[in-house]
Structure 1
């Protein structure tokens, strides 16, 4: 098939990982993929935030930024029309974004089947975390895209609930959690352990760490424990790193605390090989966290919140230890339990690896699900 892939992601982050993984799998399975997307992400380094476009938008009044965001849909409409006339694709695959009905317009104009991947309810997210100047227009654009796609692909059942509430029929929704490339994130390679982590029990956090992750409480508990072989590793950056370093010195724990700063995607399997107990401290209620899938594939002992979306993949005392949402005291209790109980830790690690195969949590399986629907749809027309 010829697949027109459309997205509006300008940052090179977890979103880009998802896009790149699906596109790579589609190509590996023999399909041609035509991209209509911002160039800025393609050209940036991992961790880049959208370049000059994001910088300019951040300085604008919010209502102007939103008007430009909506105006972009008219520009991209003509780009999509041009791409369709030039390449004659069989189908359209789109990653949903707010204020972006252009994909639906061209789907209707050219009568092409469209699958819409949805990673968050962006109207609710923007209202909660940033605010909206034109909430009525934002909500219209979200509902219009969801209702008019031929098939909607949310990453969790929690998110599917938002889409159903918007009036999308259940039989048009297919939940596809994020995946992992098991050839890259293979079970832990202990020969990769760096000297400072050898023979240590390493508690690790991966990602951009903020205050609500409560890593200061993790550090305080670890420093208070009598175990000599503990080490706390933060793989990533964030505004709380300086405070954690200062705290580690005050607790005389500086030799047992390491922060890497931003690391490239290629280095991530190596850094996960350094970790025994992996933390997923907080998560938005509809997300399918990429790092959680990578923790599972690597066979790490996971500590995570018991939110509904997390429980779609993790079960307490089976493939993870779960703590009550927003309860940092219970989170550090779970960490201490895993430090003290070697057998439980080993059991969780083994079950983590098995979870990937049991639930089919790979990018290859995700691509197969997407492509099978397109193939079936085309065979009927």
Structure 2
């Protein structure tokens, strides 16, 4: 099958991981990809913020920037049209973005089925964190794009409820959670990059961009409690909370039992997961499918995660993870402490987390098989 893959992501971050893995999976399965996307995303190192796009967002008044976003859709439609005329793809696969109905226009103009991957309700998300100046236009583009796709592919059932709320029938919704590239994270040749020998320690690990509300300072306090002298904290990433964590570690005399990597390249991540025994998934937005949680699961970590509906789509308290209440930080610490003290529980949850990935085939390859099945059904006019 020939697939026109369209996205508007200019940064090279977690979003780009999803894009890259889906493309790799489709290519590996023998399909052809025609990519229509900003070239600047391809040219950056992992962690890049989008360059010119990021600068424009900071420099322009909000309403003007949003008009530029919408105007880009006309340019994107022209690029899509050229690609369709030249390559004659079977379907369009698009990663949804706000102010971007270009994929729907191309679907309607050329009569090609559109599969729309949805990772967030961007109208709500952007309005909450940044505000939206052109709210009516933003709402129209979101609803128009969702309603006119042949299939909408939200990453969680919680996110699917947003599509149901605007009248999209269940027959056009397919939840596809994020996945894992199994070989990348389970290759026996992967080396542990941590220079210090922590084989005698229980290693609590966190991956990501850490903020104060993640509560990682509580882990350092836990390390000072009697009986926890063999607890080691590994923070893989960076973020605004790092200076405070470093200062706290120094004041508590824990600098020799903590390691902070800073930003690491994507291909180094499997190695950094190796030394972890317990992996932390602090609270996330209510509709997300966290990539790092799948990575924790595939590599057999004992996971501490929030009791949220989207997380409970993959994890069950006491079966393949321990869960905590997001409004009670003490339950977070209690779950961590319980895993530190109970080797048998830790081993059981670790094995169950890994088995969940295998039993449910939570892989990018399986996601690609689902996408192709939906594409074929669209081409045949079946549901």
Instruction: Tell me which residue corresponds to 2:279.
Output: 278
Instruction: Tell me which residue corresponds to 1:43.
Output: 43
Secondary structure of the 2:11 match is: coil
5+ residue gaps in structure 2?
A: none
Determine if contact 2:150/2:378 at 8 Å carries over to the other structure.
no
Deviates more, 1:83-92 or 1:291-300: 83-92
Instruction: Tell me which residue corresponds to 2:62.
Output: 62
Deviation at 1:277, TM superposition (A): 0.3
Instruction: Tell me which residue corresponds to 2:103.
Output: 103
Matches within 5 A, 1:289-368: 289-368=290-369
Instruction: Give the whole-Å Cα distance in 2 for the aligned partners of 1:139 and 1:77.
Output: 20
Determine if contact 1:188/1:298 at 8 Å carries over to the other structure.
no
Deviation at 1:118, TM superposition (A): 0.2
Deviation at 1:225, TM superposition (A): 3.9
Instruction: Give the whole-Å Cα distance in 1 for the aligned partners of 2:283 and 2:65.
Output: 29
Length-normalised TM-score, structure 2: 0.97
Instruction: Give the whole-Å Cα distance in 1 for the aligned partners of 2:187 and 2:357.
Output: 11
Deviation at 1:131, TM superposition (A): 0.5
Determine if contact 1:188/1:273 at 8 Å carries over to the other structure.
no
Instruction: Give the whole-Å Cα distance in 2 for the aligned partners of 1:147 and 1:292.
Output: 30
Determine if contact 2:190/2:271 at 8 Å carries over to the other structure.
no
Q: Describe the superposition over 1:281-321 as per-residue Cα deviations: whole angstroms up to 9, x where unpaired.
A: 11000000000000000000000000000000000010000
| CA RMSD after TM alignment | 1.5
Instruction: Give the whole-Å Cα distance in 2 for the aligned partners of 1:171 and 1:376.
Output: 12
Deviation at 1:376, TM superposition (A): 2.9
Deviation at 1:338, TM superposition (A): 0.2
Deviation at 1:160, TM superposition (A): 0.4
Instruction: Give the whole-Å Cα distance in 1 for the aligned partners of 2:380 and 2:267.
Output: 39
Instruction: Tell me which residue corresponds to 2:165.
Output: 165
Instruction: Give the whole-Å Cα distance in 2 for the aligned partners of 1:191 and 1:142.
Output: 44
5+ residue gaps in structure 1?
A: none
Length-normalised TM-score, structure 1: 0.97
Instruction: Tell me which residue corresponds to 1:156.
Output: 156
Deviation at 1:117, TM superposition (A): 0.2
Q: Describe the superposition over 1:226-258 as per-residue Cα deviations: whole angstroms up to 9, x where unpaired.
A: 322110110000011111100001111111111
Instruction: Tell me which residue corresponds to 2:216.
Output: 215
Determine if contact 1:237/1:261 at 8 Å carries over to the other structure.
yes
Structure 1 runs, 4 residues or longer, greater than 4 Å off: 187-191
Q: Describe the superposition over 1:202-233 as per-residue Cα deviations: whole angstroms up to 9, x where unpaired.
A: 00110000111011122112223432211011
Instruction: Tell me which residue corresponds to 1:242.
Output: 243
Secondary structure of the 2:209 match is: coil
| Number of matched pairs | 381
Secondary structure of the 1:322 match is: strand
